Amino acid sequence: MKKKIAIQGVHGCFHEQAARLYYGEEIEVVECLSFEDLFVSLEQKTADGAVMAIENTVSGGLLPNYSLLHKYGKQIKGEVFLRIKQNLMALPGQKIEDIREVHSHYMAIAQTRSFFQEYPHIRLIESEDTAKSAADIATKRQMHVGAIASGLAAELFGLEILQESIETHKQNFTRFLILDDKLNVEKRDIDKSSICFTIPHVKGRLSQILSIFSFYDLNLTKIQSLPIPGKEWQYFFYVDLKFEEYNRYREAMNAVQPLMEDVKIMGEYKSYNE
Amino acid sequence: MKKKIAIQGVHGCFHEQAARLYYGEEIEVVECLSFEDLFVSLEQKTADGAVMAIENTVSGGLLPNYSLLHKYGKQIKGEVFLRIKQNLMALPGQKIEDIREVHSHYMAIAQTRSFFQEYPHIRLIESEDTAKSAADIATKRQMHVGAIASGLAAELFGLEILQESIETHKQNFTRFLILDDKLNVEKRDIDKSSICFTIPHVKGRLSQILSIFSFYDLNLTKIQSLPIPGKEWQYFFYVDLKFEEYNRYREAMNAVQPLMEDVKIMGEYKSYNE
């Protein structure tokens, strides 16, 4: 029986590409039209695992997705990085001058907005999903409508690519998290951890914490602060740590905990290596 | 003559609220339909200053806006924080059951998506601007269409608020940057700086840098890392620093520069105090 993996989006979307990159081709994809639905399908056991975008090198973090992790009490079990190549596609025979509106996910629109500055006659309309916009054009035989989606979507739905790689920044990578309770990561394979914590306004507190991480040979691969409004001088942090020895990482966590408040370990997993 | 301030969006948008909060009511607003147009109106001198959203406590940073700062060589001259209260509005007399589609800026849609989960019959459509969506409903007398926008927009365009404060997270603040070459910030008033830099993969390098900041009494009010794809182990950082003494901040910068690469000071300015 194929493993069922929930993705945000429909067949042909970047989430499906990421899922296949992580799990291989032998999966059955469960389409979800929102990030929250990923968690719902895990809870209702209609999926064995899920793949969820968490940050992009150009547009930054999808912070609300961290809130979903907390809400549903799910642990990160892995990660995968995918280069995002956006393409403008339409029904075969259509030219870019024929296109009046382009549908896609808001992130894809944000990533390609400068391409469309040359085409002020094209209206950009947010849809639930890049690949769904492509599928809609194909099934409804929509003239004068384009979609921004993956090359896989063009192939699957028989659309023609009018312009390839229209993303503004070519170094455009998205990091996806793997949520899968059935995935048992062996302790000896764990080399990465995602944590979040609050620190009170104590002079030099963050540098103390980072010194301890460094002393225990932990590499910080991500740090992002968020101000906590209403609580002056309090900051909330998302941090990713890479390490070689799991036990040393645990020792480091014990050493830093007294310096932090509200520490949460969001997942301990094997980092992605191409 | 009133000072001309460029805003991203049209009359009634959050950018206008932020501009009035910073400059007071005696301004003439220059509407821009993209963030890039803010810079164009500064270059073409159709505006004296500009207000640009840079980060939100819920959805995170608008990283592409930093790239615009670099591209146009503009310095940050100030900042302002605004609480974002999103409202669903429509023509007077319309009920929520009558609404088939809701138009708004993608960020406003992202911030209110969970409210709309209860109304699956409503289609969410991205527009250029929150207030423009509200204005369109009013001028075109659009039935069955709603907009997500500020209370100011409802007031200006004579729309009825169907539901107030529909943002998922009530602690929703946006930070706006002030870009204004004509604003001469006195050195003695400067208490904040925004910098970006790269650090090579040297063990503990970031904690060394933060220790120096702490030694010189600089408070880190923001830190965000971005991986540089293709350059393994290189990271790019956006950091905001608050301080009391400008000279001590300069000393700290001299002390840390040898530890960083490609340092850029994006602005030295007076921090926002309510």
**At the topology level of CATH, where does A3-83+172-179 sit?**
D-Maltodextrin-Binding Protein; domain 2 (3.40.190)
**B211/chain A closest Cα distance in angstroms:** 5
Distance CA A252, CA A263 (A): 13
Q: How buried is residue A230: exposed, middle or buried, by Cβ count under 10 Å (0-12/13-18/19+)?
A: exposed
What pLDDT score was predicted for residue B232? 55
pLDDT confidence bin for B121, thresholds 50/70/90: very high
Instruction: Report strand pairing: A219-227 vs A235-242.
Output: antiparallel
What pLDDT score was predicted for residue B228? 66
**A63/chain B closest Cα distance in angstroms:** 6
Contacts of A36 in chain B (CB under 8 A): 114, 117
Q: Which two tokens stand for residue B114?
A: 């969970």
What pLDDT score was predicted for residue A233? 55
Q: What is the mean pLDDT of residues B188-214?
A: 90
The CATH code of the domain at A87-163 is 3.40.190.10
What pLDDT score was predicted for residue B273? 80
- Using the Cβ of B274 and the Cβ atoms of chain A, whether some distance falls under 8 Å is answered with no
CA angle (A110 as vertex; B48, B179 as ends), nearest 5: 15
Q: Which two tokens stand for residue A127?
A: 């849809």
**At the topology level of CATH, where does B187-269 sit?**
Alpha-Beta Plaits (3.30.70)
What pLDDT score was predicted for residue B63? 81
Question: What is the overall mean pLDDT for chain B?
Answer: 90
What pLDDT score was predicted for residue B229? 59
Distance CA A8, CA A30 (A): 9
From the list A113, A126, A228, which residue is nearest B109 (CB)? Answer: A126
Q: Which residue has the higher pLDDT, B162 or B36?
A: B162
What pLDDT score was predicted for residue B168? 86
On the question of pLDDT at B230 being above 70, the answer is no
Distance CA A51, CA A179 (A): 6
CA angle (B85 as vertex; B82, B86 as ends), nearest 5: 130
Residue A14: DSSP 8-state:
H
| C-alpha distance across the termini of chain B, in Å | 27
Where do the structural domains in chain A lie, given as residue ranges?
Answer: 3-83+172-179, 87-163, 187-270
Question: What radius of gyration do chain B's Cα atoms show?
Answer: 21
- Using the Cβ of A33 and the Cβ atoms of chain B, whether some distance falls under 8 Å is answered with no
On the question of pLDDT at B147 being above 80, the answer is yes
Q: How buried is residue B48: exposed, middle or buried, by Cβ count under 10 Å (0-12/13-18/19+)?
A: buried
On the question of pLDDT at B41 being above 90, the answer is yes
Distance CA B151, CA A195 (A): 37
Q: Which of B166, B149, B167 is nearest to B158 (CA)?
A: B149
Interface contacts A/B by beta carbons within 8 Å? 121
pLDDT confidence bin for B274, thresholds 50/70/90: low
Instruction: Report strand pairing: B27-32 vs B3-8.
Output: parallel
Closest B-chain CA to A222: B225
What pLDDT score was predicted for residue B245? 95
Q: What is the mean pLDDT of residues B211-226?
A: 90
Query: A3-83+172-179 with A87-163: one CATH topology?
Result: yes
Q: Which residue has the higher pLDDT, A137 or B184?
A: A137
Residue B161: DSSP 8-state:
E
CATH H superfamily, domain A187-270: ACT domain (3.30.70.260)
Mean pLDDT by 10 residues, chain A (274 residues): 91 92 94 88 96 84 84 94 94 96 87 90 85 95 96 93 92 91 88 93 86 92 77 77 95 96 94 82
What is the DSSP track for A109-150?
A: HHHHHHHHTT-TTPEEEE-S-HHHHHHHHHHTT-TTEEEEE-
pLDDT confidence bin for B201, thresholds 50/70/90: confident
Burial code (b: 16+ CB inside 10 Å, e: under 16) for B94-126 equals beeeebeebbbbbbbbbbbbebbeeeeebbbbb
Alpha helices in B102-204 (DSSP H): 106-116, 130-140, 151-157
From the list B36, B106, B117, which residue is nearest A110 (CB)? Answer: B106
What three-state secondary structure class fits B260?
coil
On the question of pLDDT at B233 being above 70, the answer is no
Q: Which of A35, A112, A174, A213 is catalytic?
A: A174
